[in-house]
């Protein structure tokens, strides 16, 4: 406030009037800031979850990948999900789409993927199996080497990717935001 005071004194004019104008401006700015933060906080954000490759206990630390789901399930149970398969497993990230199979309690399917999904304690979990999945092993290796610096982590992630390539199955998990559950 001292800086503002000196600024107006140097330029002449009524300091009290200018001080009121500055306060008014700051109040308006703070109201707009609060509204902006509220809008951002309530906008639909991607749901964060995990993709996990089933492996031995020795490789488990290298088999979990954070992912962001595209479909938002806020306040409802999902009938369709869209999630990325990690680039560390297939060479480049691509999105998988699955929908609940009609007249089925827990079966889901999509192009080249099928799954068994359930909701337990507000967590949506699926075991998924891919068919005819195209994996670019040289790209997988490059992505892993570019993403991870620690040599033991690189080695572990490469082993997980190799296992995934021979049997492309895994688990997806994310926490539901909504209150409604089956």
Residue 36 shares a structural domain with residue 115 = no
Per residue in 39-67, pLDDT (tens digit) is 333 334 556 789 999 999 999 999 999 98
Please report the pLDDT score of residue 49 as a whole number: 87
d(Cα 82, Cα 114) in Å, to the nearest integer? 13
Total structural domains within the chain: 2
- pTM summary value: 0.68
DSSP 126: E
Please tell me whether residues 121 and 158 are part of one structural domain. yes
pLDDT at res. 165: 94
Cα Rg of the chain (Å, integer): 25
- Please give the pLDDT value at position 146: 96
Where is 53: in which H helix or E strand?
none
Question: Which stretches of the chain drop beneath a pLDDT of 70?
Answer: 1-47, 70-77, 177-182
Residues 112 and 159 in one domain: yes
pLDDT at 11: 55
The answer as to whether 155 is a domain residue is yes
> What pLDDT, on a 0 to 100 scale, did the predictor assign at position 59?
96
88 is written with which tokens? 């560390």
**Which pLDDT belongs to residue 116?**
96
Q: Say yes or no: 52 and 66 in one domain.
A: yes
99 occurs within a structural domain: yes
Helix residue ranges, H only, the chain: 2-11, 15-42, 87-90, 137-147, 151-166
Let me know whether 68 and 124 are in one domain. yes
Q: Are residues 94 and 159 in the same domain?
A: yes
73 plus 144 within the same structural domain: yes
Assess whether 75 and 38 both reside in one domain: no
Dist. CA 109–CA 101, nearest whole Å: 6
pLDDT at 166: 93
34 in any annotated domain: yes
Looking at the structure, do residues 97 and 18 belong to the same domain, yes or no? no
pLDDT for 6 equals 54
For 31, the domain range is: 2-42
Q: What per-residue confidence (pLDDT) applies to 110?
A: 94
Q: What value, to the nearest 5°, has the Cα angle with vertex 112 and ends 107 and 113?
A: 30
Can you give the pLDDT at residue 81? 83
């Amino acid at each position: 406030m001292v800086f503002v005071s000196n600024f107006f004194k140097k330029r002449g004019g009524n300091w009290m009037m200018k001080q009121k104008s500055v306060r008014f401006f700051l109040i308006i700015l703070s109201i707009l800031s609060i509204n902006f933060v509220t809008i951002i906080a309530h906008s639909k954000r991607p749901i964060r979850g995990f993709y996990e490759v089933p492996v031995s206990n020795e490789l488990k630390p290298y088999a979990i990948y954070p992912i962001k789901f595209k479909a938002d399930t806020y306040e409802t149970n999902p009938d369709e999900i869209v999630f990325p398969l990690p680039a560390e497993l297939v060479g480049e990230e691509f999105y998988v789409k699955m929908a609940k199979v009609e007249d089925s309690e827990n079966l889901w399917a999509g192009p080249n993927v099928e799954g068994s999904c359930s909701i337990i304690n507000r967590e949506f979990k699926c075991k998924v199996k891919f068919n005819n999945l195209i994996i670019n092993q040289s790209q997988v290796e490059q992505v892993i080497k570019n993403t991870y610096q620690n040599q033991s982590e690189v080695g572990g992630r490469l082993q997980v990717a190799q296992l995934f390539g021979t049997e492309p199955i895994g688990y997806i998990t994310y926490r539901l935001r909504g209150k409604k559950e089956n």
